[in-house]
Amino acid sequence: MIINTRDFGHVEISQEDIIYFPEGIYGFENTKEFVILKIDDETQFYCLQAVNEVYPRLVITNPEIIMPGYSPAIGKEILDKLGAKSPLELRFFVVAVIPANIRDITVNLKSPIVLNIRKNIAMQVVLDNTDYKIRHRIFSESEGG
Amino acid sequence: MLIISRKAGESFLIGDSIEIVILESQSEKITVGIKAPKDVTILRKELYEIQKANKESAYLTDSGSLTSLKNILTKNN
């Protein structure tokens, strides 16, 4: 099927690419179907694009490139909601906010998007009892640029 | 900021229609009950902050910033 995207015009996707968010994403609770589109081959940033509309399109990334070893504990209740038997079926993404000054980019490590890679079901999970921040800077403020 | 001390079972009012009741207090955590009209949105603050960050991710980032992002990241690596 062909979808209309915010950044790449018309893009062909297959039915198997569609990720179902039963609860939507915070702020976009009514949008249930998204696809992950690669921005390029070099960076691990992706567009989380709504399937049926141009908006919303969020920018997400692999948290491993920002915080190696990032693997928050996911409880049974969340595993059940995602239809996952084990945390090994999960993959994490984090939402990035990219302001005009790129060096002020932040990622939300406190509430990752958790994807069941086997079933393509995902949700945004709020981690309790962590020091992870909703706006975690990638570049420190003191660095030039 | 107004600071009020309350014990479990006590409450305070915000305006005429909102009442905050302290239900339980432990060392790390307090439980409150909120009585408010249906049209008042009540949200844990972190959820509000998460919604805000998601919306900024969706609306602040245009294709130009994606290109700049790519440039800065590939330059850094």
How does pLDDT run across B8-30, given as a tens digit for each residue? Answer: 999 999 999 999 999 999 988 89
How close is the nearest chain A Cα to the Cα of B45, in Å?
11
Cβ–Cβ gap A26/B47 under 8 Å = yes
Dihedral (Cα; B47, B48, B52, B54), 10-degree rounding: 20
- For residue B62, pLDDT over 70 is answered with yes
Q: Which residue of B has its CA nearest to A27?
A: B51
Three-state SS string over chain A comes to CEEEECCCEEEECCHHHCEECCCCECCECCCCEEEEEECCCCCCEEEEEECCCCCCEEEEECHHHCCCCCCCCCCHHHHHHCCCCCHHHEEEEEEEECCCCHHHCEECCCCCEEEECCCCEEEECCCCCCCCCCCEECCCCCCCC
Q: Which residues of A touch B45 (CB under 8 A)?
A: none
A contact set with B (CB within 8 A): 6-7, 25-28, 39-40, 42-43, 45, 47, 55-60, 95-100, 102-103, 105-106, 108, 110-111, 124, 126, 134-135, 145
Mean pLDDT value of segment A97-106: 90
Are A57 and A43 contacting, i.e. CB atoms less than 8 angstroms apart? no
Q: Which residues of A touch B51 (CB under 8 A)?
A: 26-27
Are A62 and A44 contacting, i.e. CB atoms less than 8 angstroms apart? yes
- For residue A104, pLDDT over 60 is answered with yes
- For residue A131, pLDDT over 60 is answered with yes
- For residue B76, pLDDT over 90 is answered with no
In total, the C-beta contacts within 8 angstroms joining chain A to chain B are: 91
Closest in B47, B53, B73 to A95, CB measured: B53
Q: Which residue of B has its CA nearest to A98?
A: B61
How does pLDDT run across A71-86, given as a tens digit for each residue? Answer: 999 999 999 999 999 9
Model confidence at A70, in pLDDT bands (50, 70, 90)? very high
How does pLDDT run across A3-51, given as a tens digit for each residue? Answer: 999 989 999 999 999 999 999 999 999 999 999 999 888 889 999 999 9
Site from B61, B70, B74 to mutate, A interface, most A CB atoms within 10 angstroms: B61
